[in-house]
Structure 1
Amino acid sequence: MLTQLYIENIAVIERASIDFQGGFNVLTGETGAGKSILIDSLHAVLGERTSRDLIRTGARSAFVSATFSDVEENVLEAIRELGYAAEEDGTLLLQREISAEGKSSCRINSRPATVSVLREIGAQLINIHGQHESYGLLSPESHMGYLDRMGVPQALLQAYQEAYCHMNRVKKELEGFQMDEAQKARQIDLLTYQIGELEAAQLRPGEQEELTERRDLYRNSEKIAGALQAAKLALDGEDEAEGALSAVTDAADALADAGRYLPAAASLEERLRSVQYELEDCNTEIGSLADGLEYDPEELEQIEGRLDQLYRLGLKYGGSVEEMLAFLEDCKKQLSDIELSDAHIARLTKEHQEAEAEAWRCAKALSAKRQEVAALFAKRVQEELTFLDMPNVTFLVQREEGALSPSGCDRVQFLISTNPGEPAKPLAKIASGGELSRIMLAIKTVLAGTDHIGTLIFDEIDTGISGSAAQKVGLKLREVSRTRQVICVTHLAQIASLADAHFRIKKHVEHDRTYTNVTALDHEGRKRELARIMGGTEITELLLQNAEEMLQMAKKTP
């Protein structure tokens, strides 16, 4: 549950800290005091889209933090999967700072987080219900979700989703093979030409590299011949100049003579003989290279022509021979697919029919369960509406079969009749604002056990109601608060009197600046606040007596 909400520099709130309790919490205050700002602050710290316009005039940034305790284990597990964890005592702290430049900085238990992660975690901790959600009831598109949450097994929903997606995948593949005859002929002509051109080229992997190496050899043959000749002359010598080979041989012979008298010279002679023999081998190999060096202008022209052909083919089919060969294989496969398209179409048509039949089977199973759940859902909501002072309202779930869609074959919408004998009609045509608020509360009550969200927040759910209806709404909110924390922004004394904790939001002006404070009220404070709500600006003794009576009656309410 939400144990503390801290707000800094949000609109008219310079600084406020609210310590919520378990059970039923209410927030009251005069119109314009800042009740909606608290809801905006909660939306911000839960990762919802916000605006820098929220920042208090003159401040460089705004800051909101929300502390949660007693978080359920399944929610903690979901948080751990996102890479975060609660403190050892189970406490979870969400923080968000909004700068005047519009940038956000988010943290979860002091660790940096993105707004999207904050939103994902926040959605599992708090459910905020405001007037916009009541009016969302007017859209039949939202009704299916309420019904499925009531008791449609996740396995049924998942089985249908998988069957529906498989059907669409096969359909897309089938559509890819289905083309008119003219388009098919054009595609066959193109593929046949491409295959013929590539096959005629007789491509061979590695050929391009080999030809490039051979071409470079021919282009530089004169340089190579000159270099080999220079190397051979350096070894053999020319005219009267002695070469390196002859010099090394003479040196070795000289050392051989010296070795007869000086043993150390003999070892040097052996080393020079090794050099002599190595130089002789090198000289022989240089001669072989020179003898084998040929320059064939005609072959060079052929190589240039082949490389040019490969280059032009590469511009169309891929930069390398390997890529062109891969393109060739792909063309052959496409041509084969087209030539065998009738067989493919027949196979895929059968597969699509089977997939569609399976999708319909799953949709029918899902629909049957929805019909069963719809009857229970309508009955439970009807009971709650009767308690909420709407005994003459008939609530129905209309289900019609339609084409397959991502949600199944059902078209669901809620119908009501506000007067006996009148036919039930869509909510949008009949329900008033006050009725919508109570219908939404009834639905929330019915669905209370289907999720693990620990805190429900109701923002002015009492709009458009008064008297006994308001009393019933308060009792229902108090009932819901026995299984989870409920926070309610209200302007009705009947609801506020039933709270376990009461906070007053008050605005005042100081030094030409507007400030809003949030104060936890004791018994006496609650009595005066209830009297103010009932009577306006003047608080009389009679109003105080009435307020005291309401508080005493609330204590006796289970």
Structure 2
Amino acid sequence: MLSQLHIENVAVIEKADLVLAGGLNVLTGETGAGKSILIDSINLALGERVSREIVRSGARAAHVAALFAAVPARVRTQVEALGFSCEEDGSLLISREITADGRGNCRIAGRPATVSILREIGRLLVNIHGQHDNQTLLSPENHIRYLDLYAENTTALRSYREIYQKLRRLRVQLKKLTMDDAEKARRLDLLQYQIDEIRQADLQPGEDEALEEERAKIINAEKITGSLQESLQALQGGEDMEGAEALTELAADVMQSVADLLPPLAPLVERLKNLRYELQDCAAELQNRLDDSDADPRRLNAVEERLDTIFRLRGKYGERVEDILAFAERAEQELAAISSSDEQADQLRREGKILAAQAKQLAANLTESRRKAAQKMQEKIRAELAFLEMPNVRFHVQISPLPRLEADGVDGVEFLFAANPGAPLRPLVKIASGGEISRVMLAIKNVLADVDDIDTLIFDEIDTGVSGRAAYKIGVKLKQVAAARQIVCITHLAQIAAQADRHILIEKTVETGKTFTRLHVLDFEGRKRELARIIGGAAITPLTLQNAAEMLEAAGIASTTTGLRIEE
């Protein structure tokens, strides 16, 4: 169960610690005091999506930490499977921080974690019913989710969806293979033409680059030869000039003649000799290049024609010769696939029949499971609604066959509802009032609580649209459910607040121009005054105080009961 919640810089909450107990925990306060901020804080701690606007104005970051006590063994096992571990006493601390610029970090048992893992663990620990869940109930496409949860179809549904997705992928493959004869003939002709055109060109990898180089060599042959000859003459000299080789040799000999007189010149002499050898190597390489520089102008036409062929293929199949060859390889593979498509299609059809039979069987199993569960579920919901002051209500889970396999099987599920005797069953979305929707949702949550083992349920204003005796019954029902698990309920109704095992007051104050939200765990007198405020509004009279005391005593809360009063 959720034992403690530490909050820092979340909206108007600068710093607060919420200490919860087992049983029914109720939170009340004036409108705008910050009750919804507590839900946002819990969502933040559990890894759910929140806006960075949640960070208190002027603060660097919002931070929430949640301590869970006596974590169930099932959850501990899943936490360990994700690479984390609970404390020896079975407790688990999770925390999350989000900065004003939207960045954040998460921790599980003191170790860094991703938001997705935090969310996965959080949903094993807490089930939050917010006001938007009532709208979810009004969407028929969500009704099958509630039924499957009650029927405990998670494993069966996963098995069905695996086969269904395989079947869908197979049908997509089959559709690609299946084409009419005329289209197949056109495609085969085109592929064969493309393959023949590329293969007849007899392209070689890198050929285009080699031809470009050869073309440039032929076109610039005269300039290249002249430059080579001029450079070689500069190194070797001619009839009327000394070359760099001879001059370097002369410089070395002259310096050698005085090296004995000036020993520091010896290294310079050695460098001049090495330079001469290097110039000789350069001259030899220039001569080799000059010997190979003969270019046949008649070769230019052949090179140009070959480049024109490659250029034409480039415009169709790729920028480089390698791209053109790769295109041809893919075309050959497609040609082979289409040529054998009839055989492949037959094989896929055989596999499809097997998968379809498996999917239909699994879907039929789901249908049977749903029909059995629907009978029990609707009876339990009717009993819950009768307790919640809707004795004449009729609630029916309608299961209709779909024309084909879908992601959830072959069943369409919709909740039908009739609040009054003699009224026909009609879709819930069309006839239920706000108060009726709230009670139906509470009934569904209570029924689903029988099949899940989440220890903490949080209800945010489950009492919307109800009052009087119906509100009292909701309070009693919440207390009954809280006997087996922890309930946290935000409410505006005294009838519900009176049933609480722990009552927490949320107050908003303004100090030095800043707004603060503070939490108080109330004792008997504090609870009596808060109930009186809810009953009578701003004016708390002896009569409202007496009514509040009677409500607490009727709920089994004795006047001797004390509670810890905390102000953060």
Q: TM-score range by the shorter chain?
A: 0.7 to 0.9
Contact 2:398/2:414 (8 A) holds in 1: yes
Counterparts of 1:213 and 1:121, CA distance in 2? 65
1:538-557 to structure 2, matched below 5 A, reads 538-555=539-556
Alignment match, 1:317:
317
1:140 maps to 140
1:200-228 deviation per Cα after TM superposition (whole angstroms, max 9, x unaligned): 11234576677678879989999799999
User: Who is 2:105 aligned against?
Assistant: 106
**Offset, 1:397:** 0.5
Q: Kindly state the Cα deviation for residue 436 of structure 1 after the two structures are TM-superposed.
A: 1.5
Give 2:483's aligned residue: 482
Displacement of 1:477 after TM fit?
1.4
State the distance in 1 between where 2:173 and 2:213 align. 46
Partner deviation per Cα, 1:179-202 (whole Å, 9 max, x = no partner): 455544543342232112112112
Deviation at 1:486, TM superposition (A): 1.0
Q: Quote the Cα distance in structure 1 between the aligned partners of 2:550 and 2:288.
A: 121
Give the conservation status (yes or no) of the 8 Å contact 2:12–2:517. Answer: yes
Gaps of at least 5 residues in structure 1 are 245-282
* Conservation of the 8 A alpha-carbon contact between 1:527 and 1:544: yes
Q: Which residue of 2 aligns with 1:358?
A: 358
The answer (yes or no) to whether the contact 1:191–1:335 under 8 Å persists in 2 is: yes
- The amino acid across from 1:497 in the alignment is A
CA shift digits 1:388-411 (9 cap, x unpaired): 232221221100001321111100
Q: In the alignment, does 2:49 pair up with 1:13?
A: no
Farther-moved stretch of structure 1 (16-25 vs 339-348): 339-348
Letter in 2 for 1:63: A
1:5, distance to aligned residue in structure 2 (A)? 2.4
- The size of the alignment, in residue pairs, is 524
Render the CA deviation track for 1:58-107: whole Å, top value 9, x for unaligned.
Answer: 524452413122333443454455565555653313122341xx524232
Partner of 1:534: 535
The equivalent of 1:401 in structure 2 is 401
- Cα contact 1:9–1:59 (8 A) shared by 2: no
The corresponding residue for 1:493 is 494
1:444-483 aligned within 5 A: 444-483=445-484
CA 1:117/1:471 → structure 2, altered by over 3 Å: closer, same or farther? same
More off after superposition, 295-304 vs 439-448? 295-304
The one-letter amino acid paired with 2:324 is: M
Seen in structure 2, the aligned counterparts of structure 1 residues 187 and 420 have a Cα distance that, compared at 3 Å, is same
Q: Which residue of the partner structure matches residue 274 of structure 1?
A: none
Q: 1:291 to 1:437 in 2, by over 3 A?
A: closer
Mapped to 1, the partners of 2:179 and 2:298 lie a distance apart of 50
- Which sits farther off after the overlay, 184-193 or 387-396? 184-193
> Does 143-152 or 108-117 show the bigger shift?
108-117
Partner of 2:432: 431
**In structure 2, what is the Cα distance between the partners aligned to 1:294 and 1:509?**
96
For residues 517 and 138 of structure 1, the distance between their equivalents in structure 2, rounded to whole angstroms, comes to 35
SS state of the match for residue 3, structure 1? strand
* In 2: Cα distance, 1:104 partner to 1:208 partner: 52
Between stretches 33-42 and 164-173, larger displacement belongs to: 33-42
**Letter matched to residue 32 of structure 1:** G
**2:32: which partner in 1?**
32
| Amino acid aligned to 2:203 | L
1:451-496 Cα offsets, whole Å, 9 max, x none, are 3433211011122223332232222212222332210011222222
CA distance in 2, matches of 1:422, 1:288: 107
User: Quick check: 1:2–1:66 contact (8 Å CA) kept in 2?
Assistant: no
Letter in 2 for 1:465: V
- Alignment RMSD: 4.2
CA distance in 1, matches of 2:493, 2:487: 16
The one-letter amino acid paired with 1:473 is: I
Mind listing any 5+ residue stretches in structure 2 that lack a counterpart? 246-283, 559-568
Q: Distance in 2 between matches of 1:311 and 1:82?
A: 57
Structure-2 residue corresponding to 1:441:
442
For 1:51 and 1:145, the matched residues in 2 are separated by: 27
The SS at the match of 2:156 is helix
CA distance in 2, matches of 1:294, 1:463: 97
CA distance in 2: counterparts of 1:508 and 1:163, whole angstroms? 58
**Counterpart of 1:46?**
46
Letter in structure 2 aligned against 1:331: A
The 1-side partners of 2:12 and 2:326 are apart by 68
- 3-state SS of the aligned residue for 2:132? helix
Contact 2:47 2:96 in 1 (8 A): no
Aligned sequence identity (%): 48
Aligned equivalents of 1:540, 1:353: Cα separation in 2: 77
Whether contact under 8 Å (1:5, 1:64) holds in the other structure is no
Amino acid at match of 1:428: V
Residue 165 of structure 1 aligns with which residue?
165
Deviates more, 1:384-393 or 1:1-10: 1-10
Partners of 1:525 and 1:128 in 2: CA distance: 27
Partner of 1:131 in structure 2? 131
Pairwise CA distance, 1:502: 0.9
Equivalence map 1:91-102=2 (5 Å): 91-99=92-100, 102=101
CA gap of 1:310–1:82, structure 2 versus 1, over 3 A, is: farther
| 1:511-522 paired onto structure 2 within 5 Å | 511=512, 513-522=514-523
Partners in 1 of 2:349 and 2:87 — Cα distance?
57
8 Å Cα contact 1:30/1:506 also seen in 2: yes
- Quick one: structure 1 residues 106 and 287, their matched pair in 2 at CA, closer, same or farther if it must change by over 3 Å? closer
Alpha carbons of structure 1 residues 208 and 73: separation in structure 2 relative to 1, 3 Å: farther
Counterpart for residue 260 of structure 2 = none
**What is the DSSP-based 3-state SS (H/G/I as helix, E as strand, rest coil) of the residue aligned with 1:461?**
coil
